[in-house]
Amino acid sequence: MAGLRIESPLTSEQETLVSKIIGAAIEVHSKLGPGFLEKIYEHALCYELHQRGIPFECQKAINVPYKNILISGQQLDLVVDGIVIVELKAVDHLSPIHQAQLMSYLKTTGLKIGLLINFNVKLLKDGGIRRILR
């Protein structure tokens, strides 16, 4: 049987960017492990992205449209290369509300790709990373 290939709705450039972000997150997790506050992981991931030359915005402020007004005060953990929203967590397990939160961010910004990363796991590859597409 030949290798199974799953078609992705993302371009090769988008897939490459997502892979680079995940690689940086794995590096952070391998050095720090679980147990820290979300802010610690955020700072470490920003450092890794910077070291790898990957452009990002940390704590990017967005306005949320409501009827005919814009409500300020919402911040995204990371926006990488203007393409991927990265929402960081340090919780016992990811829940549907975390995915809904990221979907709301994608809808509000018009972006299409999100990564939900939970650093409070033994291994990131075992349920610590979820890719969300809008």
Count of helices and strands (H, E) across the chain: 3, 5
Predicted local confidence at residue 4, as pLDDT = 57
Q: Answer yes or no: is 44 within a domain.
A: yes
Task: Please report the pLDDT score of residue 126 as a whole number.
Answer: 86
Domain of 72 in residue numbering reads as: 12-133
Within-domain flag for 1: no
Q: What percent of the chain has pLDDT over 90?
A: 90
pLDDT beyond 70 at 19: yes
Q: How many domains, the chain? A: 1
Answer yes or no: is 2 within a domain. Answer: no
Would you say residue 70 lies in a domain?
yes
Residue whose C-alpha is closest to residue 113's, from 74, 84, 91, 88? 84
Give mean pLDDT, residues 30-50. 97
Confidence of residue 7 (pLDDT cuts 50, 70, 90): confident
| Predicted confidence (pLDDT) at residue 43 exceeds the cutoff of 80 | yes
Whether 5 is in a domain gets the answer no
- Please check whether residue 90 lies inside any domain of the structure: yes
Residue 121 located in a structural domain: yes
In a domain, 19, yes or no: yes
Please state which of the ranges 27-36, 58-67, 123-132 shows the lowest mean pLDDT. 123-132
Rg (CA), the chain: 15
Answer whether 67's CB lies under 8 Å from 24's CB.
no
**The CATH number of the domain where 118 resides is what?**
3.40.1350
Over residues 89-115, the pLDDT tens digits come to: 999 999 999 999 999 999 999 999 999
Going by C-alpha positions, the residue among 128, 64, 61 that lies closest to residue 98 is 128
pTM: 0.91
